[in-house]
Structure 1
Amino acid sequence: MRDESVTRSPSAEIGRAGDSPRVRFRVRVASRVETPPVVRDGTAYLGCANGSIHALDAADGRRRWSTRTEGRTTAPTPAAAGDVVYAGTDAGRILAVDAETGESRWEFSATASVQAAPRVDDGTVFVAAADGRVTALHAADGSRLRTFRNASTALCSLAVDDERLLVASLDGGAFAHDRTDGRERWRFDPAAAVRSAPAIADDAAYVGTVDGGRVCAISANTGRERWRADLGASAWAAPAVGEGTVFVASTDGSVWALDAADGTTDWRTDLNGGVWASPTTTGKALLVADDAGRVSALDRTDGTVLWQYRATAPIVGPVTVAEGAAFVADCGGTVTALSLPEGCRSLPEGCRER
């Protein structure tokens, strides 16, 4: 597809010419998309509501392969080596497919619906099911290594680091487990619905709550609360954390920058659309997608709107930044890659791609 100018919102204050992105490609996949594209080694992988998984060329959007399974799929998870892609479905299936061809490598039947994207680390695939069971599978063949039960059910998000498995529950709470034996290390706010696993930065974990509309900083080792900030609306997604700042968005369209040390507000910007996904930090900008179908680039230092792009339908998943572009999937089934201006291409120190 030809390169074309970004559609600008007439209500937005747009930056100087040359500071806005351009459309690299725009492709329809003919199914509702609620999860973010995942980009690895020149390929963008996409899970869809109709059970399909697509692999697109990250440079031009050309479809490399598609496969379909039973149930709504999670965001695909490529292995670090890049040769296998894993996904879960709300029919309780875990799929491992060849990253080059889409052909099945193995399947595993979980004990309940899987809403959280599987996580892959050190040859192990971790799976969280809605009934509260967390299972570790051998990445090569899908054989079960171990299973443990979380204290709450309705598990909807899973993260892993060198020491912990972190899970979120809409029935209530965020939890940390030892990744080797499943022993619970801590639980936080089990009375509040939590949609996204905590974001870890240094020795702190940052949690947003659906109930009560709060973001909290807790010890990553003990789960003890350090501070909390009231947002006035639900924080459906995990914060993005980097360079001493916690960026969090809420369903009323507010985007906040909070001091990571004490939770005081550095700035707040109000967008005219609810935000259901984590902000994405890249270079000087914070990219935020909303259910009005916009991607807004905010200046990380003061929240000023740098530019906006309007998609074809609401966006409920985060923006993925990779290979010099922002990849956006909307609920109408359109995937767009925006070639980013120079100042938005690199992640600042301490920030992680989401």
Structure 2
Amino acid sequence: MTVRPVRRPGAVLWAVLLASALLAACSSDKPKPTPLQPLTPSIAGKQVWSADIGDVRFQLGVPVRDGKIFVADSGGTVLALQADSGAEVWRAQAGATLSAGVGSDGRYASVVTVDNEVLVFDAGKLLWRQRVPSRVVTPPLVAGERVFVKSVDRVVHAFDVLDGRRLWTLQRPGDALTLSQAGVVAAYKNTLLVGQGARLAALDPLRGTLQWEVPMASPRGTNEVERLADLLGPALRLGDKVCARAFQSAVACADAARGALLWSRNAGGTQAVGGSEEIVVGADGADRITAWKTATGEVLWGNERLLYRQLSGMLVVGPTVVFGDVDGYVHFLSAASGEPQLRLPTDGEPVIATPVLAGTTVVVATRKGGIFAFRPN
């Protein structure tokens, strides 16, 4: 994992790879993954289709819109697929290596290259490209005929989706260090929500002005690395509630209608949380899984059977929690108890994207570029 120190205008921007002693959660010296135990399925489920794109070396988001999913590989191939069948809707080429995954509103799709170029496609046809000053690892948000892009220095850019005209840019004073991992850029009604360090900020999407912000965590540590607590995407939207993990620090939920914190619980971890109106669930740095009550943050259950298996972000589908691991297995746990219900294989490569739900289909993506769709019963 990369942490990117940023100095303000006129100074130098560079990347520092942290040693395992500084950031154990991302270390290659982690204990070996806990072996999987035999499992007798208690629910039924099956793979219904799969597709191959290409190797993915960034944090892939898989947006779902109008019955379609949108994916991209590192080489620059961008695809729209039918969520129920995997049939290809359209295919496009960015013509460059990508640094961030796809954002889409169902018609327009946007990606970002390693040269900091924002590209927008309309049904596979390239409309425009615009450069931003800093590296981008968070998938763009396409909403309201605008494209919103957040770079690793936490600067937010807004573009007109039709012609690429830059509408506004928000740059606020920030910390010297920022996290090079996909963060929070999301829509809430007529508000744009973005992560600004450990704060959830609400912006006017027309002007880029700040409406409110909520501290989701209180970072502690003896140095700037230990105090890193950027909000990790994708955020979990549950009506007026927005929940997210602050990197290696906390899990929290806010009331987006009032701009108020509902609860925050100390919980280290590096992957996004999932949830429902009843529970919020996520894994910590050692892959201990914890479920909290959505309304209060009270701990409901824990599961330590999958330690060090490099679990993905979580998805809650009705009574089931779904996520992937380093060996490409997709796990299904009871949302009520955390007990394992089902385990299904993919291609043996790490599951790198938080699973998404498209109708009755759960879609996951692997590092090798495998897209797999499952239907649990």
**SS of residue in 1 equivalent to 2:350:** coil
Q: Aligned to 1:251, which of 253, 277, 285? A: 285
Corresponding residue for residue 301 of structure 2: 267
How far the C-alpha of 1:147 sits from its partner, in A, is 1.5
Corresponding residue for residue 111 of structure 1: 133
How far the C-alpha of 1:62 sits from its partner, in A, is 4.6
Residue pairs, 1:156-175, within 5 angstroms: 156-157=182-183, 158-168=185-195, 173-175=199-201
Q: Aligned to 1:85, which of 99, 105, 109? A: 109
**SS of residue in 2 equivalent to 1:70:** coil
Percent of counterpart pairs with the same letter? 20
Q: Is the 8 A contact 1:272 1:292 kept in 2?
A: no
Corresponding residue for residue 44 of structure 2: 20
Q: Is the 8 A contact 2:232 2:270 kept in 1?
A: no
Sort the Cα spacing of 1:58 and 1:252 in 2 relative to 1 into closer, same or farther, 3 A: same
TM-score by length of 1: 0.80
How far the C-alpha of 1:195 sits from its partner, in A, is 4.1
**SS of residue in 1 equivalent to 2:158:** strand
Residue pairs, 1:305-320, within 5 angstroms: 305-311=340-346, 312-320=348-356
- In the alignment, is residue 337 of structure 1 matched against residue 373 of structure 2? yes
Corresponding residue for residue 124 of structure 1: 146
Amino acid aligned to 1:252: A
How far the C-alpha of 1:255 sits from its partner, in A, is 2.0
1:9-47 CA distances to partner (integer Å, 9 max, x unpaired)? 96243324xx33222223332312641433444543212
How many residues align? The count is 323
Aligned equivalents of 1:126, 1:115: Cα separation in 2: 13
- In the alignment, is residue 75 of structure 1 matched against residue 101 of structure 2? yes
Q: Aligned to 1:280, which of 283, 291, 315? A: 315
Aligned equivalents of 1:174, 1:190: Cα separation in 2: 13
Residue pairs, 1:31-70, within 5 angstroms: 31-32=55-56, 34-63=59-88, 64-70=90-96
Sort the Cα spacing of 1:210 and 1:83 in 2 relative to 1 into closer, same or farther, 3 A: closer
**SS of residue in 2 equivalent to 1:336:** strand
Q: Aligned to 2:246, which of 203, 209, 228? A: 209
Aligned equivalents of 2:364, 2:239: Cα separation in 1: 29
Q: Is the 8 A contact 2:275 2:315 kept in 1?
A: no
Q: Is the 8 A contact 1:12 1:305 kept in 2?
A: no
**SS of residue in 1 equivalent to 2:330:** strand
Amino acid aligned to 1:84: Y
What are structure 1's unaligned runs of at least 5 residues?
1-8, 343-354
Q: Is the 8 A contact 1:196 1:208 kept in 2?
A: yes
Q: Is the 8 A contact 2:243 2:254 kept in 1?
A: yes
1:137-176 CA distances to partner (integer Å, 9 max, x unpaired)? 112222111111133374742112124322235x654433
How far the C-alpha of 1:68 sits from its partner, in A, is 3.1
**The 10-residue stretch of structure 1 (54-63 or 21-30) with the greater mean CA deviation from structure 2:** 54-63
What are structure 2's unaligned runs of at least 5 residues?
1-34, 220-227
Residue pairs, 1:314-329, within 5 angstroms: 314-329=350-365
Aligned equivalents of 1:57, 1:70: Cα separation in 2: 25
- In the alignment, is residue 179 of structure 1 matched against residue 205 of structure 2? yes
RMSD: 2.8
How far the C-alpha of 1:258 sits from its partner, in A, is 0.7
1:28-73 CA distances to partner (integer Å, 9 max, x unpaired)? 3231264143344454321222232223344544544241332324
Aligned equivalents of 1:41, 1:313: Cα separation in 2: 29
Aligned equivalents of 1:208, 1:70: Cα separation in 2: 31
How far the C-alpha of 1:104 sits from its partner, in A, is 0.6
How far the C-alpha of 1:318 sits from its partner, in A, is 0.7
Aligned equivalents of 1:200, 1:29: Cα separation in 2: 29
How far the C-alpha of 1:301 sits from its partner, in A, is 1.2
**SS of residue in 2 equivalent to 1:75:** strand
**SS of residue in 1 equivalent to 2:100:** coil
Q: Is the 8 A contact 2:109 2:142 kept in 1?
A: no
Q: Is the 8 A contact 1:275 1:288 kept in 2?
A: no
- In the alignment, is residue 302 of structure 1 matched against residue 337 of structure 2? yes
How far the C-alpha of 1:127 sits from its partner, in A, is 1.3
Aligned equivalents of 1:182, 1:148: Cα separation in 2: 6
1:250-269 CA distances to partner (integer Å, 9 max, x unpaired)? 23222221112332111112
Q: Aligned to 1:199, which of 233, 236, 245? A: 236
How far the C-alpha of 1:319 sits from its partner, in A, is 0.9
Sort the Cα spacing of 1:108 and 1:305 in 2 relative to 1 into closer, same or farther, 3 A: same
TM-score by length of 2: 0.75
1:164-189 CA distances to partner (integer Å, 9 max, x unpaired)? 322235x6544333333333322524
